[in-house]
Amino acid sequence: MASHRKPRPAGTRGAGLRTPVLATAALTSVAVLSQTADAAPPADGKPSLEEVEKKVDDLYRQAESATEKYNAAKEQTGKQRNHIDSLREEVARRTARLNKAREELGSFAAAQYRTGAATPDTATFLLADSPQDYFDESQLMNRLTSRQKSAVDDYVTEQAATMKKRQEAAKSLQTLSESQNELQTAKATVQKKLASARTLLSQLTAEEKARLAAIERQKQEAAARKAAELAKQQAAEAQAQAQQDSGSSSGGSSTSGGSSTSSGTYATKAEKAISFARAQIGKPYVWGATGPGSYDCSGLTQAAWKAAGVTLPRTTYDQVDAGTTVSLADAKPGDLIFFYDDISHVGIYIGNGMMIHAPKPGAYVREESIYYAGESIIHSVVRPA
């Protein structure tokens, strides 16, 4: 869509993100194979359980991407409506001033007719739709008093300004119509993807659903192990940094006071954002929702940081630019973790490799490993305040 930022290429991932794709793929493969090693290929042409799982995941991903486009179009539509309302008010004010200037010119013409001080040409000039057309007639201009000339100038100025505002309003209405069409398209896309996913899931037998749940549990366990590894790495780095800071302080020269204050301020805000996000756990994911009863992914992060006094943009496409990019190893609680090359998902980091996010349609706000779908999908980490 032209109304929002193009997705970043994969090469722009934040510095420091490690992506051992083979290791991640191996973990996923073990989970899948352990469930399907004894399963015979379907003989009736029906897709396998793994194919259904992948298709459903892809549909949910596409729906979430379309949701962010919907959010962007909705936000743009709201701004355009406000702009048009403002333009209409401005046009109304200028039209009133234009009518007042026209009335003043009319009163001059009427007075000159009554006194016989004006020729028909003068009256025609004063009441014309475009008095500017007569400005080159020096003999006529000589007949006008300074007050009359001022009234003519006011009229011409208001006429030009009013016409400009009317043209601007017409153009904005056209843009609004285009944004509304984009909004409807994005909405239809989301609904279509979700309907397809529900249809696929409804065709699974009870046994297949149980196997699918078992595969999901194994993926979550693998993701939890990766989160624990990151937590251990971050703890070791924090301890090393603390020892270094302690050594610097004992040496009698410390220049980190300002940095410590800044870090403390961020930690305080981050704590408020996380506290808000944690209070939303259990509320349903609903595409396009910003609370308080339900959220989509960017709606949750926006609301969480708003509770900390920080205003974030509405969409993931804009939130990714609303702060400082840091490496995954340097992620701190409160940072935003973005996922996929099209930056279509976001969660709020809470430490120890974990985050709180609104995962997908049919799910609820929850605490989960940032590796919930593998490490390779992590796009970047952004510190918003």
**C-alpha span between 368 and 91 (Å, rounded):** 53
Asked, as a colleague might, if the bond just before 313 is cis with ω within 30 of 0, I would say no
φ, ψ for residue 348, nearest 5 deg: -110, 120
Q: Which of 95, 84, 92, 74 is nearest to 171 (CA)?
A: 84
For the record, the structure tokens of 358 come out as: 């609104």
What radius of gyration, in Å, describes the C-alpha atoms of the chain? 32
Residues marked active site are found at 297, 345, 357
* Contact assessment for residue 137 and residue 190, using Cβ atoms and an 8 Å cutoff: no
Longest dimension (CA), the chain: 110
Q: Put residue 326 in one of left, alpha, beta given phi > 0 → left and psi -120 to 50 → alpha.
A: beta
The residue whose two tokens read 């969660």 is 347
φ, ψ for residue 336, nearest 5 deg: -95, 130
102: helix, strand or coil? helix
Helices in the chain by DSSP H: which ranges?
21-36, 49-115, 120-127, 138-143, 146-202, 206-250, 257-279, 297-306, 316-319
